């Protein structure tokens, strides 16, 4: 099966499995797991922050970050196509009493500086106070776009002007850094907290990191415990994360190249609309015409290929390249698409 639904489908490498089996462990709730501590130190160094905390998922990482920055009744500004807004079950409001104020995302994943500034509430008895700006990089549902360090700096200046904090949902921040050919720290230096995932293109089986100041991470660690994220001998998981950060970041470039190849080839097919110029990382969105989406998925699955339909009414699909989809398999996908479309 060639599975392009998500890069979360990656399996741990052999070296990860060996490291997990032999990891030195302790009780992480007591902060006594040496392998978790090693991973957290490495994550903090990679993002240029003072400290980090290991969490089971990116969704939990984003949630505890917002809970640590905001109190009940506070407001956050975020993109209307952001993962926090669309796909995290409304946790910031349901569990934190935090009011989300979505603003329109541009096609490159940014929110215009003018809209951000207009969205900041002035002190008023009728309004929730604005506390936090949430950004996403890469931006999943904006073509997997890497958001530039120049934009991050500009938002940082805006936040400083109004005394706000910034949280970055950096689930695929290493994809952004690789695509832009810059260190991750260039994308995180102006943010107060950042979450990144180990279990997507980096191929670890479980886990994400939240990074920030030591004081912030103390708050986040307590919030993690509150929402059930305290883990015991978590070093068995953290061991895979260490290998992910040390050995698998640079190879993300292969996934980006495969995505560009796939986008370039299917853009030439009648019945598919895709803007290949917007494919910068490992995510492709395309629109299908002349064939029902469900039919297309069924025909692909008969050929042992899976992709994700994100909008059945509009016929929009997402394909995500990752370590377990080779260049040769990309060629098979291209030929299969062509065969199905030629027969419609």
pLDDT tens digits, 215-264: 999 999 999 999 999 999 999 999 999 999 999 999 999 999 999 999 99
Q: Rounded mean pLDDT of the chain?
A: 97
Last residue of a domain, one of 207, 229, 247: 247
Task: State mean pLDDT over 174-193.
Answer: 98
For residue 229, give the CATH number of its domain. Answer: 3.40.640.10
Q: Say whether 169 sits in a helix, a strand or coil.
A: strand
pLDDT digits over 210-223, tens only?
999 999 999 999 99
Domain count, the chain: 2
For 341, the token pair is 């479309």
For 325, the token pair is 């989809």
For residue 326, give the CATH number of its domain. Answer: 3.90.1150.10
Residues 42, 142: one domain?
Answer: yes
Residue 343 confidence (pLDDT): 83
Residue 313 confidence (pLDDT): 87
Residue 271 is assigned to a structural domain of this protein: yes
Task: State mean pLDDT over 177-187.
Answer: 98
Residues 30, 83: one domain?
Answer: yes
Residue 131 confidence (pLDDT): 98
Task: State mean pLDDT over 327-341.
Answer: 97
pLDDT digits over 79-134, tens only?
999 999 999 999 999 999 999 999 999 999 999 999 999 999 988 999 999 999 99
Residue 3 is assigned to a structural domain of this protein: no
Residue 236 is assigned to a structural domain of this protein: yes
Residues 203, 96: one domain?
Answer: yes
pLDDT digits over 273-311, tens only?
999 999 999 999 999 998 999 999 999 999 999 999 999
Residues 93, 185: one domain?
Answer: yes
Residue 255 is assigned to a structural domain of this protein: yes
Residues 297, 243: one domain?
Answer: no
Residue holding tokens 């956050």?
76
Residue 344 confidence (pLDDT): 74
Residue 5 is assigned to a structural domain of this protein: no
Residues 71, 182: one domain?
Answer: yes
Q: Percentage of the chain surpassing pLDDT 70?
A: 100
128-to-103, 121, 233 alpha-carbon distances in Å: 16, 7, 41
Residues 24, 123: one domain?
Answer: yes
Task: State mean pLDDT over 27-46.
Answer: 98
Residue 266 confidence (pLDDT): 97
100: left (phi over 0), alpha (psi -120 to 50) or beta: beta
Residue 198 is assigned to a structural domain of this protein: yes
Residue 337 confidence (pLDDT): 97
Residues 221, 266: one domain?
Answer: no
Give dist(CA 264, CA 259) in Å, integer.
Answer: 8
Q: Which helix (H) or strand (E) holds 268?
A: none
Q: Say whether 52 sits in a helix, a strand or coil.
A: strand
Last residue of a domain, one of 231, 247, 263: 247
Residues 234, 262: one domain?
Answer: no
Range of the domain at 283: 251-342
Last residue of a domain, one of 247, 278, 302: 247
Residues 148, 222: one domain?
Answer: yes
Residue 4 is assigned to a structural domain of this protein: no
Residue 133 is assigned to a structural domain of this protein: yes
Residues 227, 197: one domain?
Answer: yes
Residue 290 confidence (pLDDT): 86
Residue 310 confidence (pLDDT): 94
Residues 221, 236: one domain?
Answer: yes
Cα Rg for the chain, rounded, in angstroms? 20
């Amino acid at each position: 099966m060639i599975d392009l639904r998500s890069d979360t489908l990656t399996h741990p490498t052999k070296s990860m499995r060996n490291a997990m089996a032999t990891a030195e462990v302790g009780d992480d709730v007591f902060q006594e797991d040496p392998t978790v501590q090693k991973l957290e130190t490495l994550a903090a160094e990679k993002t240029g922050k003072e400290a980090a905390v290991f969490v089971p998922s990116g969704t939990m990482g984003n949630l505890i970050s917002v809970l640590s920055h905001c109190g009940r009744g506070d407001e956050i500004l975020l993109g209307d196509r952001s993962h926090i807004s669309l796909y995290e079950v409304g946790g910031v409001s349901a569990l934190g009493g935090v009011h989300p104020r979505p603003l329109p995302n541009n096609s490159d994943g940014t929110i215009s500086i003018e809209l951000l500034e207009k969205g900041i509430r002035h002190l008023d008895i009728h309004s929730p106070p604005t506390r936090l700006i949430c950004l996403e990089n890469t931006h999943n549902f904006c073509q997997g776009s890497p958001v530039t360090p120049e934009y991050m700096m500009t938002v940082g200046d805006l936040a400083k002007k109004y005394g706000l904090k910034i949280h970055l949902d950096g689930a695929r921040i290493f994809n952004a850094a690789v695509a832009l050919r810059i260190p991750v720290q260039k994308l995180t230096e102006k943010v107060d907290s950042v979450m990144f995932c180990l279990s997507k293109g980096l191929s670890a089986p479980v886990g994400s990191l939240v990074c920030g100041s030591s004081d912030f991470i103390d708050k986040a660690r307590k919030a993690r415990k509150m929402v059930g994220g305290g883990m015991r001998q978590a070093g068995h998981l953290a061991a895979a994360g260490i290998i992910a950060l040390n050995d698998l970041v640079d190879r993300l470039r292969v996934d980006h190249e495969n995505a560009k190849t796939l986008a370039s080839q299917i853009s030439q097919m009648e019945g598919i609309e895709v803007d290949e110029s917007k494919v910068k990382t490992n995510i492709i969105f395309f629109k299908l015409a002349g064939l029902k989406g469900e039919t297309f998925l069924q025909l692909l699955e008969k050929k042992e290929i899976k992709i994700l339909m994100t909008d059945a009414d509009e016929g929009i699909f997402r394909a995500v390249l990752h370590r377990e989809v080779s260049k040769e398999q990309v060629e098979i996908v291209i030929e299969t698409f062509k065969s199905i479309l030629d027969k419609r």
